[in-house]
Amino acid sequence: MQTPFFGCTYAALVHFHIQLGQNLEAISKPYNQIVRIAFFVLIFLCRKITLSVLLFHYYKHQVVRGSKHSNNRET
């Protein structure tokens, strides 16, 4: 159940959040594009690094598994 106090507090928090967002947007407008580009570059690099690490572990596992099978075939 919602109490009137909770409703007032929630409305005040939403209003504060909107005001804060508008103030930050006004301050950081020149830097907004730079921050957006940097954020996407960071995400892109993290995805590339994660993908290469996963592929490295996969190929390392395949090589180890393949060498075990080739050793078994020789004996």
3-state SS string for the chain: CCCHHHHHHHHHHHHHHHHHHHHHHHHCHHHHHHHHHHHHHHHHHHHHHHHHHHHHHHHHHHHHHHHHHHHHHHC
Question: What percentage of the chain has pLDDT greater than the value 70?
Answer: 48
Number of domains in the chain: 1
Q: What is the mean pLDDT of residues 43-57?
A: 85
Of 58 and 19, more confident: 58
Phi and psi angles of residue 21, each rounded to the nearest 5 degrees, phi first: -60, -40
Residue 49 lies in domain: 4-74
What pLDDT was estimated at residue 73?
A: 52
Question: Which tokens is 51 given?
Answer: 């993908």
